[in-house]
């Protein structure tokens, strides 16, 4: 299917999942991502899949655990407060090395917060969230088309690494309607799954568990998890350099903010300022090297986030003092306008003179 369809981001993500082979969805309604579950409720039965509205996000994530253990491609989605409820389950899924995709359409927090977009779950997504040593692979689309592509990629990565993968978006990306097309991957990843629970017929029983009371064994498992994540760090870094080759000032932003930054850059370039954007696509693994290399040439990096400052810490870590890191944010559901970003860059440019 290569015809273009006009779809909201949430719906596009759901359709992309189905086309990637997802046959189970468990979720609970929460704004601003209800369209994902609603879409799945009629789409999955069409392909013989299973849609179930669970009694809570807690139940949802454990239904995902069950279905993933049974060998199917499975997804859930939620928004910030619901993702908080899922943290224990995500820790269990990572510990049991089960593949799944989790979509978080971030909304303003903390607490019940608001329903407008935000990026204040970056720490939760990339640094942990649940207990124990694990990481989700985290992908951040900035358009509906990219959301489609990354959702399809997410299922392959989940199977490749036997790990949960998160699509980190926000209400803007979920609600905005854009033309998208669905292209099946040329070489879909087919995972060997001898470990799944399907009934112990003609083989020893399979046990999906995460309790290992012997620390000798548990250390081995944790070290193996670390090795697996290092492989992901080596192979799965994704980012977009946008007009940074000749830039004096580079903006660092992801998701919705990156799109707004691109408009700001167009305006700034017309004003004669050499500005670019380094847009992380994978938030875990974070493109540390790309930022380090950029910091060698560039005097100032402006990190713009819809949070009080989360990704900026990773940028500072990467840059290691080689370049000055500035920060601008809007929070509480407020979305920065391109004017504000233009003004911030102009301020930085003036100070640099």
Partner 1 sequence: MEMEMVSGRPKTLLPVPTHYCPGCGHGVIHRLVAEVIDGLGIREKTVVVAPVGCAVLLYNYFDVDAYEAAHGRAPAIATGCKRVNPELVVFTYQGDGDFAAIGTAEAVHVAARGEKITTIFVNNAVYGMTGGQMAPTTLLGQKTTTTTSGRASETAGFPIRMSEMIATLPGAAYVARVSVSSPKNVAQAKMAVRKAFETQIKGLGYSLVEFLSQCPTNWHMTPVESVRWVEEQMVPYYPLGELKVPKEEY
Q: What are the DSSP calls for 53-84, one per residue?
A: E-SSHHHHHHHHHHHHHTT--EEEEE-HHHHH
| Shortest distance in whole angstroms from residue 57 CB to partner 1 | 11
Choices 85-93, 116-124, 160-168, 274-282 (CB under 8 A): range interacting with partner 1: 85-93
Give the Cα separation of 177 and 149 in Å (integer). 16
Site string for partner 1, 27-66 (x = CB under 8 A): -----------------------x-x-xxx-xxx-xxxxx
| Shortest distance in whole angstroms from residue 26 CB to partner 1 | 7
- Element containing residue 26 per DSSP (H, E): strand 24-27
Nearest one of 260, 284, 273 to 348, comparing CA atoms: 273
Q: At what angle do helices 144-161 and 215-235 cross, to 10 degrees?
A: 140
Nearest one of 75, 76, 66, 64 to 28, comparing CA atoms: 76
Question: Which of 177, 191, 208, 331 touches partner 1 by CB under 8 A?
Answer: 208
| Shortest distance in whole angstroms from residue 209 CB to partner 1 | 4
Q: With binding defined as CB under 8 A, does residue 237 bind partner 1? A: no
Nearer to partner 1, 67 or 106 (CB): 67
Give the Cα separation of 92 and 102 in Å (integer). 14
Question: Which stretches does DSSP call E strand in 107-182?
Answer: 137-139, 164-170, 177-180
Question: Which of 20, 30, 67, 232 touches partner 1 by CB under 8 A?
Answer: 67
Q: With binding defined as CB under 8 A, does residue 231 bind partner 1? A: no
Q: With binding defined as CB under 8 A, does residue 71 bind partner 1? A: yes
| Shortest distance in whole angstroms from residue 288 CB to partner 1 | 33
| Shortest distance in whole angstroms from residue 127 CB to partner 1 | 21
Phi/psi at 119 (5° precision): -130, 35
Give the Cα separation of 166 and 104 in Å (integer). 7
| Shortest distance in whole angstroms from residue 114 CB to partner 1 | 26
Token representation of residue 304: 């713009």
Nearer to partner 1, 44 or 306 (CB): 44
Question: Which of 28, 39, 92, 161 touches partner 1 by CB under 8 A?
Answer: 92
Nearest one of 76, 133, 123, 71 to 99, comparing CA atoms: 71
Q: With binding defined as CB under 8 A, does residue 1 bind partner 1? A: no
Number of chain positions touching partner 1 (CB under 8 A): 39
Q: With binding defined as CB under 8 A, does residue 191 bind partner 1? A: no
Nearer to partner 1, 98 or 298 (CB): 98
**CA 174, 138, 323, 270 torsion-angle sign:** negative
Give the Cα separation of 261 and 253 in Å (integer). 7
Nearer to partner 1, 29 or 309 (CB): 29
Q: With binding defined as CB under 8 A, does residue 199 bind partner 1? A: yes
Give the Cα separation of 322 and 200 in Å (integer). 58
Interface residues with partner 1 (CB under 8 A)? 23-24, 26, 50, 52, 54-56, 58-60, 62-72, 74, 88-89, 92, 197-202, 205-211
């Amino acid at each position: 299917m290569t015809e273009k369809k006009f779809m909201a981001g949430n719906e596009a993500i759901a359709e992309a999942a189905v086309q990637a082979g997802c046959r189970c969805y468990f979720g609970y309604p929460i704004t601003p991502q209800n369209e994902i579950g609603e879409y799945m409720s009629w789409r999955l039965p069409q392909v013989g899949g299973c849609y179930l509205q669970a009694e809570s996000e807690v139940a949802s994530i454990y239904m995902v655990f069950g279905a993933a253990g049974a060998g199917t491609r499975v997804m859930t989605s939620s928004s910030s407060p619901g993702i908080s409820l899922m943290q224990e389950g995500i820790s269990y899924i990572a510990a049991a090395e089960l593949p799944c995709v989790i979509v978080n359409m971030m909304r303003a927090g903390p607490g019940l917060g608001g329903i407008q977009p935000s990026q204040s779950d970056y720490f939760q997504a990339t640094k942990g969230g649940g207990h124990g040593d694990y990481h989700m692979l985290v992908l951040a689309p900035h358009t509906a088309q990219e959301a489609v592509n990354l959702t399809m990629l997410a299922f392959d990565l989940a199977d490749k690494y036997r790990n949960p993968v998160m699509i980190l978006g926000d209400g803007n990306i979920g609600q905005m309607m854009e033309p998208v097309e669905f292209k099946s991957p040329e070489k879909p990843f087919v995972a060997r799954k001898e470990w799944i629970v399907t009934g112990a017929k003609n083989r020893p029983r399979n046990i999906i568990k995460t309790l290992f009371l012997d620390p000798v064994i548990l250390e081995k498992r944790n070290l193996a998890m670390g090795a697996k994540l290092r492989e992901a760090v080596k192979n799965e870094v994704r980012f977009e350099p946008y007009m940074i080759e000749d830039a004096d000032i580079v903006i660092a932003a992801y998701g919705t903010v990156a799109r707004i930054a691109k408009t700001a850059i167009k305006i700034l370039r017309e004003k004669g300022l050499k500005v670019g954007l380094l847009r992380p696509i994978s938030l875990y693994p974070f493109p540390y090297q790309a930022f380090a290399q950029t910091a060698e040439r560039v005097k100032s990096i402006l990190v713009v986030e819809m949070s009080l400052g989360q990704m900026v810490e990773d940028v500072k870590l990467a840059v290691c003092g080689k370049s000055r890191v500035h920060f601008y944010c809007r929070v509480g559901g407020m979305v920065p306008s391109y004017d504000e970003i233009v003004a911030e860059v102009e301020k930085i440019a003036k100070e640099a003179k």
